[in-house]
Amino acid sequence: MINAERLKLHSIQENPLAVTDRDIRLDHVVSEADSGRRLDQVAASAWPEFSRSRLTEWIRAGALKVDESTAKPKLRLREGQQLVLRARLEDRPDSPEAEPMKLSVVYQDDDVLVIDKPAGLVVHPGSGNTVGTLVNGLLHHDPDLAALPRAGLVHRLDKDTSGCLVVARTPIAHRRLVEALKQRAVKRRYLAAVWGEMIAGGSVDAPLGRHPVDRRRQVVRADGRPARTHYRIQQRLAGATLLSVNLETGRTHQIRVHMQQIHYPLIGDPMYGRRGSPAGLTEAQREAWRKFPRQALHAWQLEFEHPVSGAPVRAEAPIPEDLSRLISILAPDPVAAEDA
C-alpha cells in the first residue's frame, strides 16, 4: 500500500507530506536556487518519487498549483512561491487484470519485492498472453502496483528463464531502481549450463541488436548496443559446464547470444542452441540432456542498494528442480570445481 510511512522516509523535512492510501498532499516553497526555473522542472526536483510525465499531467489537470492558482508546465517560478500538490495515484489506464497466483517471494518490504519466477511464466501481458502473466499475479498480490509502470517491474526475464525479478512498490523506489540499473549498480548473477567442457572463465564484449530478418532473435552486430557478459566456471559436467554469469549490461537474450557467439550455447535453448547431445554421455545423461525442456538459465542472485534505506539487499532464488536434476545427472563427481 502506498502510504505515509513509505514516502515520509524520503522528504519529511523538505516536503511536508500527508498521504492517505493513494491520496497525496505535498507542499514545496521555491528556493532562490530554483528561481527562474520552469514549474515542471522544479516539481521534478522537489518530488523525485514521481515521474516528470505524471507531474506534468497533474499540472495540466490543476492538481499541482502555484500559490493556489493553476499554471502551465513551462511557467517560470519566483523565489518564495508555493507549489501545492493535491492528487491521487490512480491505476494506470493500461493496467491489466489482477489474478490470484501463487508467487514465490524471496524478499519483501514496503518498497521492494523480489520474486522467484518459475520457468514457463510470461512476465508481461502481450499479444496472445493477456492473462496468466506475472504482472497479473503481482497486481493481485499488491493492488497498489497498478499505479506504477509495468506493475513496478524494473527488468524482465524470458518466459523460460527462472529466478529473481525485482519489483518496486512505490514511485520513488521504481525511479531509483530503474536508475540503478542504468548505472549498472544492480548485480545480477545467473547460473547457465552450456554445451562443452570449458577450460576457464572469461568475458564476452560484443554489441547486440535485432536480427535483420527474424525480429524475435538478437545477433551480434557492429551497430548494436554495447553488451558485456562475464562468466566463470561453477562446476564441470559431462559434456557441459555450469557457469556463474554476471551481467554488466542487460540486453535482450544477452547471455544466450553471447554463449552462442563463443560456441558454448545453452543446453535446451530452442532459439540459439544445438540439437541432440554430445558424444561420450551415458544413456541416462543423453536422455536427460535431450529432454531438458528449456534454456538452462536461472537468475540466481540479485544484489542492490535498497532504494529508500540505502541498506544492501541480497536475494537468492534456489536452483529449480529441473536444472538441479540435470546438473546432478551430468555431474561426473559431486565436488564442484571453481576457477581461481
- Are 277 and 288 in contact by the 8 Å Cβ rule? The answer is no
Cα 183 to Cα 190: distance, rounded to the nearest angstrom = 19
Q: Which amino acid is at 98?
A: A
Cα 34 to Cα 202: distance, rounded to the nearest angstrom = 49
Helix (H, G, I), strand (E, B) or coil at 89: coil
Burial of 241 (0-12, 13-18, 19+ CB in 10 A): buried
Among residues 111, 116, 142, 158, the one annotated as catalytic is: 158
CA 308 from centroid of its chain's CA atoms: 17
Q: Which residues contact 265 (CB under 8 A, 6 or more apart)?
A: 194, 195, 256, 259, 272, 273, 274
142 is known as an active-site residue: no
Q: Give the DSSP H/E element, type plus range, for residue 190.
A: strand 187-195
Active site residues: 158
